[in-house]
Structure 1
Amino acid sequence: MSKSLQAIRGMNDILPEQTPLWRYFEGTVARLLDNYGYKQIRMPIVEFTELFKRSIGEVTDIVEKEMYTFEDRNGDSLTLRPEGTAACVRAVLEHGITGGGQVQKLWYIGPMFRHERPQKGRYRQFHQIGLEVFNLDGPDIDAELIIMTWRLWGELGIRDAVKLELNSLGTSESRGRYREALVEYLSAHHDKLDEDSQRRLKTNPLRVLDTKNADTQAVLVDAPKMADYLDDESRAHFEGLKARLDAVGIPYVLNPKLVRGLDYYSKTVFEWVTDKLGAQGTVCAGGRYDGLVEQMGGKPTTGVGFAMGIERLVLMLETLEQIPEEISRQVDVYLCAFGEQAELAGLALAERVRDQLPNLRLQVNAGAGSFKSQFKKADKSGALYALILGDDEMAQQVVGFKPLRGQGEQQSIAWDALAAHLATCVVQG
């Protein structure tokens, strides 16, 4: 027998009962970003592989192990994007929209792809919302990104479930000095490092700080601290960021081991983490990357941004039961019509109501059916109210109005008064 068709491991369908919560989350973020003056950009999900090697770094885990890379019919090496920043930088360079010091505040949404071991909240196709800001170099814009996420957590009702961690990686020069000191220290304790950290010591030593291995973490207790190697500019920038967060009242924790997994970060790095999804997990992370645009062939252009994982944040909303009641209800009103003439009149009446109440979720029964079967479908839809249109209602040009979720008797409403009645009842319901 042929193998049954199924999705690729780690690449999941988002089913109809799940999409309302996704749309709620995405809509909440989009409105917030509109209010802060950010503009949406949409990039392809496939890019030339060289883009990610140049931006992320060839010795990172992403490039070495996790990218979905293939050759197309022209022999070009292409990659499904593993993250959004590199693609966004490529787009602004290609179209010249950051030239001449133009400030750009951009955001994007869509799937990313990494060949990881699938687990709860981490998949091979995952979805992110990302922000990138170009040509603003002060700590004020770093603070704005963090303040926006703080406001978002409040709107979603999960502010108490997340914690902000901060660090500064300094400039490439100060980071280079720190890397030398760290390598010297870790080399002296080489035999106590786990195998993965021994490999990283040769390729990307700062990532050793991010290890989850307990023995290596014990070695790192006395390791040199990045803060001791910061240049004056980076130190002033970091103090400016902290001062702004203090002014707004956003709590944070300084984490000297926070380095992020990509080579292009400098100065500010931050993560919003939670312990509500089992092991501590990151739900939003980012930082500054002032040298990336130049590294990718552009003129010196400062940049800062972040990305948040939609799957993890949706899972948090479910875990913490922060789902608005209207999200679980996809239909407000269900219209039942009995007989051909009633069906025709019902269609026309429904469209007139939709003209007057464009935000009303009104479903008209399809497929005919008996009184009992239509009411069963009305109840299953989750609607608050059922509208009834049969021979008696047709003769009087009224519609039966029956509450489905609470107290109240069925009543008759004139066709021309229906929209006004629904506006009152649905809002109050």
Structure 2
Amino acid sequence: MTEQKKKLEKLSGVKGMNDILPQDAALWEFFESTVKSMLRAYGYQQIRTPILEPTQLFTRGIGEVTDIVEKEMYSFTDALNGEHLTLRPENTAAVVRASIEHNLLYDGPKRLWYIGPMFRHERPQRGRYRQFYQVGVEALGFAGPDTDAEIIMMCQRLWDDLGLSGIRLELNSLGQPEERAAHRQELIAYLEQHVDTLDEESKRRLYTNPLRVLDTKNPAMQEIAQNAPKLVDFLGSESLAHFEGVQRLLKANNIPFKINPRLVRGLDYYNLTVFEWVTDKLGAQGTVAGGGRYDPLIEQLGGKATAACGWAMGVERILELLKEEDLVPAPEGTDIYVVHQGDAAAEQAFIIAERLRDTGLDVILHCSPDGTPASFKSQMKKADASGAAFAVVLGEDELAQGMVGVKPLRSASLESTGQKNEQATVPVEDLTEFLINAMVATADDSAD
């Protein structure tokens, strides 16, 4: 070749679809384990649905005149069979689809939860990404206000378990379809009187989804939205009783809330109770969780009419709050780091590491990045940096004597072995028992 080989162009990920790096793993694991523990306490079972669904699922379920369907969905036609498919922008419709398809409600109501990535084509900003993660719950087959109140209180328990503060609850009721229809007529008439003041987005929604006009973030339209006819004034006795039942249970459990008559949520399937948990600590992206009741959806997607309610929360936004409040947990270190020198010692170290893992201990076996032997000093630096409680040291001398060195690396570990930063020498056959006893003693000392 006479031409110099061209350097390959470095590839980057899609903007707004982020890598979760090892240094962030401890925070994600802390959040996920806390969520799972909370959900077990309420009897929820996990469900996992595909990230690809038929596009019609979302146009029918979410509503065609919504931001998600009109502007944000990643949709395409499958070149193989012509199917219209969409990367899920939310998961409630998918959970309902799965429940209908697999007859999950045949033997009674279900409490379900999910966690996973969602996809929306929008401008990436803090806490708002094109691929983002949500955790959510769906209570299917429960019609009473007690379930509405319970799923709301689940969020409060999660904030408490995570140590978060300053997250406020806002509530509203959207009533039933006929009540919304009466309100819609009055709302359109009111907005028509102010059509010259409406922005282009509101004009576009005036006759298709006027309720969403009330949710405008445009400062110039706040007074119009504030003075618009309120849906609560159109609610019948049953809807009001349901809403009052939710409030009564929240008050009885000391959950503070604010009634926000402009809270409508962005999806068409909601009825009766809707709610959002909001914060001032994330700028414009202040909603960290939201949901409500969606009784019409199951029948709308082809199932038998069934009551349902649920919520979803953006994981990245919660993690931002944990960082904001300095609640990031320290990454957990490994239990044992095995260092070795010499070919025979390396082979024995491999065997020892596997035996220790058999007992349930977490073990890192030193491996040289470039394949050349590293000094004990260099390996011990790696051992200390790993966060391990103990280093197991194996060299030619130890190997010849059938012994192995054990060096405590943390203050609690030193106390548990009775050593004063000194290396103990232990017969190979006694190593497992010695380390387990030392780890148990270290855990007891840490608890004290």
Q: Given the two structures, how large is their TM-score scaled by the length of structure 1?
A: 0.93
Q: 1:383 to 1:318 in 2, by over 3 A?
A: farther
Which amino acid letter does the alignment assign opposite residue 34 of structure 1? R
Quote the residue 2:423 is aligned against: 411
Which amino acid letter does the alignment assign opposite residue 121 of structure 1? G
Structure 2 residue matching 1:382: 3-state secondary structure? coil
Structure 1 unmatched runs, 5+: none
Instruction: Summarize the alignment of residues 2-41 of structure 1 with structure 2, pairs less than 5 Å apart.
Output: 3-41=9-47
**Residues 1:423 and 2:432 are matched in the alignment:** no
**Residues 1:397 and 2:409 are matched in the alignment:** no
**Offset of 1:16 from its aligned partner?**
1.5
Structure 2 distance, partners of 1:250, 1:266, is 22
Query: Which one of the candidate residues 293, 310, 315 is aligned to 2:315?
Result: 310
**Offset of 1:84 from its aligned partner?**
0.2
Q: Given the two structures, how large is their TM-score scaled by the length of structure 2?
A: 0.89
Query: Which one of the candidate residues 233, 243, 249 is aligned to 1:244?
Result: 249
Which amino acid letter does the alignment assign opposite residue 422 of structure 2? Q
Structure 2 residue matching 1:165: 3-state secondary structure? strand
Quote the residue 1:194 is aligned against: 199
| Kept in 1: contact 2:53–2:94 (CA 8 A) | yes
**Offset of 1:124 from its aligned partner?**
0.6
Structure 2 distance, partners of 1:220, 1:285, is 21
| Kept in 2: contact 1:45–1:111 (CA 8 A) | yes
**Residues 1:366 and 2:367 are matched in the alignment:** yes
Which amino acid letter does the alignment assign opposite residue 392 of structure 2? L
Query: Which one of the candidate residues 95, 110, 126 is aligned to 1:88?
Result: 95
| Kept in 1: contact 2:145–2:246 (CA 8 A) | yes
Q: Identity rate of aligned residues, in percent?
A: 52
Structure 1 distance, partners of 2:72, 2:289, is 20
Structure 2 distance, partners of 1:283, 1:349, is 48
Structure 2 residue matching 1:202: 3-state secondary structure? coil
Per-residue Cα deviation, 1:148-176 (whole angstroms, up to 9, x for no partner): 11111111110x13111111111111111
Quote the residue 1:225 is aligned against: 230
**Residues 1:116 and 2:98 are matched in the alignment:** no
Aligned-residue CA RMSD (Å): 2.0
Per-residue Cα deviation, 1:332-384 (whole angstroms, up to 9, x for no partner): 4322222333333333333443344x2x4332212352112212222332334
Which amino acid letter does the alignment assign opposite residue 365 of structure 1? H
Quote the residue 2:176 is aligned against: 171
Quote the residue 1:125 is aligned against: 131
| Kept in 2: contact 1:111–1:125 (CA 8 A) | yes
Structure 2 residue matching 1:132: 3-state secondary structure? strand
Structure 2 distance, partners of 1:427, 1:314, is 31
Quote the residue 1:106 is aligned against: 112
| Kept in 1: contact 2:349–2:394 (CA 8 A) | yes
Quote the residue 2:3 is aligned against: none
| Kept in 1: contact 2:270–2:292 (CA 8 A) | yes
| Kept in 2: contact 1:164–1:252 (CA 8 A) | yes
Higher CA-based Rg:
2
Structure 2 distance, partners of 1:384, 1:417, is 13
**Offset of 1:393 from its aligned partner?**
4.1
**Offset of 1:392 from its aligned partner?**
4.6
Quote the residue 2:347 is aligned against: 344
Per-residue Cα deviation, 1:291-337 (whole angstroms, up to 9, x for no partner): 11111111111110111111111121122111223xx2343432222
Q: 1:240 to 1:11 in 2, by over 3 A?
A: same
Structure 2 distance, partners of 1:411, 1:380, is 18
**Offset of 1:279 from its aligned partner?**
3.1
| Kept in 1: contact 2:384–2:409 (CA 8 A) | no
Q: 1:209 to 1:183 in 2, by over 3 A?
A: same
Per-residue Cα deviation, 1:19-58 (whole angstroms, up to 9, x for no partner): 2211221122112212211111111111111111100111
Structure 2 residue matching 1:44: 3-state secondary structure? coil
Which amino acid letter does the alignment assign opposite residue 87 of structure 2? L
Structure 1 distance, partners of 2:388, 2:290, is 39
Per-residue Cα deviation, 1:134-157 (whole angstroms, up to 9, x for no partner): 111001111111111111111111
| Kept in 1: contact 2:133–2:316 (CA 8 A) | yes
| Kept in 1: contact 2:393–2:404 (CA 8 A) | no
**Offset of 1:266 from its aligned partner?**
0.4
Which amino acid letter does the alignment assign opposite residue 440 of structure 2? A
| Kept in 2: contact 1:403–1:410 (CA 8 A) | no
Quote the residue 2:417 is aligned against: none
Instruction: Summarize the alignment of residues 257-276 of structure 1 with structure 2, pairs less than 5 Å apart.
Output: 257-276=262-281
Structure 1 residue matching 2:133: 3-state secondary structure? strand
**Offset of 1:426 from its aligned partner?**
4.7
